[in-house]
Amino acid sequence: MQQHDLYSAVKEFNVLSSKELGSLIRDAENGIIKCTLNGSSFEITVENLARHLVEHISNEVSSLTVDEQHFRNLLSGLRLLHTLCDISSHHLTLERVLAEDMSVQKKMLDSIFHLISFLSQFGEKLNGSSLMVLYSALLSNSMYLSKALISSEWKDIADVLLAHPEVDDFIISAFTAVCVNVNLLRATLTTQRINNSLFHLCESSLQFLLSLCKHMLFRERLVENKELCGGGAVFRLVENTLKLSQYDDPKLSSVVNRLKSKVLSIVSPITCRHYCIVFYFVQGFFSTLQWFFLQMLLLFQAECSSFMDMASTQSKGLAESAVSEVLEVLKMMCFGDLKGHHPRGLLLLNAMKLTEVFCGASRFRTFMVLNLVSFFKYVYLFGVKFL
C-alpha cells in the first residue's frame, strides 16, 4: 500500500461519522473501498486500512515533535482508528484485525502509552491557542482510544492497563499530562469557541482518570506508586485545578466547578449518602443553616487516609498547599456569592470530603487544626446571623 494512499484515506475518512464510515465499508465490493480525493482516485482494502493505520499511528508517535501539522496528522489518525474500533463489532474484517489480533492491540496500546508520555514531557513548550487545543485533543483522544480498543466496561479497561508492564509509567504520565492540560486553561485565548473546546477536552481527560480510579485495584496501584503519592503528582493536580479562576461565562464557570469536583473525587471517593445529600440540597429541601451544619458533621467522619499514609516527607509541603486550596474552596462555596445558576453542591461536598481525609491523617492533623480555625470562625459568625 502506498503511503500517499494511506494519508489520503486518513484525510478522507477521519471526518466521517461511525454511521457514514460503516455504510462505506458495508458497500465496499470484495472489501475494497474506492475513493476520490482532490481529483485523484485510490483503492484500499478494509483490512489494509485497519492494519496500516495502526502502523501509521505507531510511526507518527515514535517521531512526534511539537509541531501543529504533526499534531493534526496524528489526531486525524487517532480519530479514524477510534471510529473503526466503534464499528468493528458490525464488520467481521475489522473485528478480526482490531479486536482479535493481539499483536495489533499491543502495538496500539504501546503507542497510546508512548503518546501520553510524550505529552506529559513537552506541555510547557506549547505556544498559541491552536497547539493548546491540539494538545488537549490528542490527550483526550488517546485516552479514550484505549477504551475503544479494550472494552466499554471500565473494570475491563482497568484490568488490562494494570496488566501492562509499563502501567506505573502510564499512570504518572497521565496525571502529569492532565495537570499540564489544566494549566493551559489559564491562558488568554482568542475566541470563545477555542476556550470552550479547551475546557471540555480537559474535562474529558480528567473524567477518564476519575473513571479508572473508581476501581479498587487501580486505586491501590495508584496509592502504591510513591512517585505519584509521595512525589506529589496527585496533589499537584489537585492544587492546580483548585486554583482555576471562576469565569463570568456561566458555561465555563460550570466546567471549572466540575473540574474541581472531579479532581477532589479522585483523592476522596464519594459515598452513596453524599449523592443523597446533593439531591436534597439541589432540590432545596434543607434550609441553609440545616444544610451547613450537616456538612460540618461530615468533616469528622474520616473513612480513608491511604493517600496521606503513602505521602512521603518530601510531598508534605505540596499536600499542605493543596489542602489550603481546598479550604479556600470551602470558604468561597459557603460564604461567597451563591447566586450562580450552575450547580455547586457536589464541589462543596467533595471539598468537605477531602478535608475530612486530611483531618484523619496524623501527620497533617496539626496543620489542619491551625488552618481550620479561621474557617470555624466564619462558621460561627455565619450561624449567629440566623439566631
Each residue of 128-145: pLDDT tens digit? 888 899 999 999 999 999
C-alpha cell at 65: 515533535
* pTM, 2 dp: 0.73
What's the residue count for the chain?
A: 387
Secondary structure class of 361 (helix, strand, coil): coil
**Residue 142 to residue 111: CA distance in whole angstroms:** 9
What cell was used for 125? 513548550
Task: Give tens-digit pLDDT for 169-181.
Answer: 899 899 999 999 9
Residue 350 has pLDDT above 50, yes or no: yes
Average pLDDT, the chain: 76
CA 171-176-180 angle, to 5 degrees, is: 150
pLDDT at 187 exceeding the cut of 80? no
> What would the mean pLDDT of 234-258 be, rounded to a whole number?
82
Domain boundaries along the sequence of the chain: 1-49+70-100, 271-387
Q: What percent of the chain has pLDDT over 70?
A: 68
For the cut 50, the answer to whether the pLDDT of residue 109 exceeds it is yes
* Grid cell of 151 as nine digits: 472494552
Where is pLDDT greater, at 217 or 349? 217
